[in-house]
Amino acid sequence: MPIPWPTRTTATDRPLAAADLSGFRLVRADLTGSDLTGTRFDGANLRQAALGGARAARASFVGTRMVRADLQGAFLRGADLSSADLSGACLRQADLTGAVLAGANMFGVDLRDADLTGADLRRATLEAATLRGAVLCGADLTGARLATADLRSVDSDEDTLWPDGVMRPRATDPVRMALWRRQEA
């Protein structure tokens, strides 16, 4: 579906809060600092889009293609990013509290210092992702793929659900989390 305004849209071009942009092609769109609260982007193409500092609480990005998108410092509390392709995206210092990222492709994503408190990361692919300093308290990572992910200085608690084969970091070893592979019987 073609976008009804120039591809290099800026935050002031059109009001986007609660808009339905499902299926739209927004490749390299500049939505930096935009109010995207409650906006629907389901199935849209936001490849290499700039959404740094955007406020997208309760927005829906189900199945959205966001490859190499810039979401640094974005406010995505309660957003639904189920099955989204976020490979190579920058989510550094993003607020993903309570966000749903179940089944998302997050290969190589930069999540340094991101807040993923209570996030649903079940079956997400986080291989080669950088989560250094991320907050995962109460997050559900059941079935997530974490091979080669950088989990140094991750903050988690007893409510964090880790995938099989990942040992919860010990308080005496906060710098490096030990990963091990479960032996097949």
Mind listing the pLDDT tens digit for each residue in 87-138? 999 999 999 999 999 999 999 999 999 999 999 999 999 999 999 999 999 9
pLDDT bucket at 169, cuts 50 / 70 / 90: low
**Has residue 176 been placed in a domain?**
no
pLDDT attached to residue 179 = 40
**Model confidence at 185: pLDDT above 50:** no
Residue 50, domain member (yes or no): yes
What's the number of domains the chain is made of?
A: 1
Residue 56 lies in a domain: yes
Residue 185 lies in a domain: no
| In a domain? residue 175 | no
pTM as predicted: 0.84
| Host domain of residue 146 | 1-170
Does residue 143 form part of some domain?
A: yes
In the chain, the percentage of residues whose pLDDT exceeds 70 is 82
Q: Is residue 178, in this structure, part of any structural domain at all? A: no
SS3 of 104-173: the string is CECCCCECCCCECCCCECCCCECCCCECCCCECCCCECCCCECCCCECCCCECCCCCECCCCECCCCCCC
Residue 158 is part of a domain; what is its CATH number? 2.160.20
Residue 184, in any domain of the structure: no
